[in-house]
Structure 1
Amino acid sequence: MFRVENVGDDRLDITISGKLDAAEMRLALDELRTKSVRIEAGKMLFDVVDYHLPSFAAIGVELSQIPGMIRFIRKFQRAAVLSDQQWVKKISELEGALIPGLTIKAFNREDREAAEAWLEG
C-alpha cells in the first residue's frame, strides 16, 4: 500500500506498507508528482509500516523515472521517516546524506509528535 496526503500547503504525508509491484510503483510515483505540484521548500512525513523491498519490476519503474523524481525531490527540504524497522531508519538517513538540499531524520513510529515538531522546526 502507498498513500499520499497533502497536509497544508507545504507538506505531504506518505504511508507505505507491504511490497510494491510495478503497477503500484507507477501509481505511487504519479501520485507523489501530482500532489506536490504547488509545493516549494516542502516537508514530507513517511510512515513506514511493515515495509518490504519493492519487486525488481517496481525498481525498474522507479529507475526509468529518475529525471521526474529529481524534480520532485528538489521541492522538499526535510523528510521525517517513522519506522520500527532499524534498517529502514538507517537507509533513510543515508539517503538524506546523499541527496543535496534534503535532510532526512528517522524516528520510531511511536514518536510521531517529535517527528512533526522536527519537520516544523
Structure 2
Amino acid sequence: MLDLIPHPADHVVAMKAGGIVTGSELQHAIDAIEAAKRDHPVISLVIEIENLRLMTLTALLKDIGYGLTQLGDLDHYHRAAVVTDQAWIEHIAHLEERLFKAVEIRTFSRRERAAAMAWVSELPRGAHEDPEEDGYHGA
C-alpha cells in the first residue's frame, strides 16, 4: 500500500507506505510529485513507512527508472523526510542521502512525525511559497 496523505504545505508531497507497494500505487505518487514540481520551484517529500514488506517487481523497476530520470533534476528537490521505526529503512535513507547530496534527507522515528512534517515544510532560504513572487513561471 502506498497512499498520498494530506500535508498543509503545498510544496510538500506526503505519502504513507506499508505492506506491499504496487506499480500503480507508485505511479500515482510519481504523478503527484510531477504535479508539485510543475507548480513549485522546489518541493519536499515525506514518507511514513510502517510494516513495509516489499515492492512488486513492476513497482521496483518503476521506482528505479523514475529515480534515474531525476538525477539531472535534483535542483527541484529540497528535503525528504522518512518517518519509520524500521531500522533497515533508515539504513537505505542514509545511503540515499550520500548518493543524492543535493537533497537533504533525514529519518525520523514515528514518535517524531510532527517534527518531520514541520521540517519538510521549511523552504530554502530566499524561496517563497508563491512561485510567481520569485519570478518563477514554470519550465
Structure 1 segments of 4 or more deviating over 6 A? Answer: none
1:105 aligns with 2:114: no
Query: Structure 2: 5+ residue runs without aligned partners?
Result: 124-139
1:47 and 2:79 correspond: no
Tell me how many residue pairs correspond in the alignment. 120
Residue correspondence of structure 1 range 1-121 to structure 2 within 5 A:
1-4=1-4, 5=6, 7-65=8-66, 66-67=68-69, 69-70=70-71, 73-119=74-120, 120=122
- SS at 2:39's partner residue? coil
SS in 2 for 1:43: strand
Residue identity matched to 1:106: T
Distance 2:85 2:71 in 1: 27
- In structure 1, runs of 5+ residues without a counterpart are none
The alpha-carbon deviation at position 72 of structure 1 amounts to: 6.2
| Aligned alpha-carbon RMSD (Å) | 2.4
Pair 1:91–1:9, CA change in 2 (3 A): same
Q: CA deviation at 1:73?
A: 4.7
Between the two proteins, what is the percent identity of the paired residues? 23
In structure 2, how many angstroms separate the alpha carbons of the residues matched to 1:90 and 1:108? 13
Q: Which has the larger radius of gyration?
A: 2
What is the CA–CA distance in structure 2 between the aligned matches of 1:61 and 1:77, rounded to whole Å?
Answer: 22
Q: In the alignment, residue 10 of structure 1 is paired with which amino acid?
A: H
Would the alpha carbon gap of residues 82 and 15 (structure 1) be closer, same or farther in structure 2, given more than 3 Å must change? Answer: same
Q: TM-score, normalised by structure 1?
A: 0.79
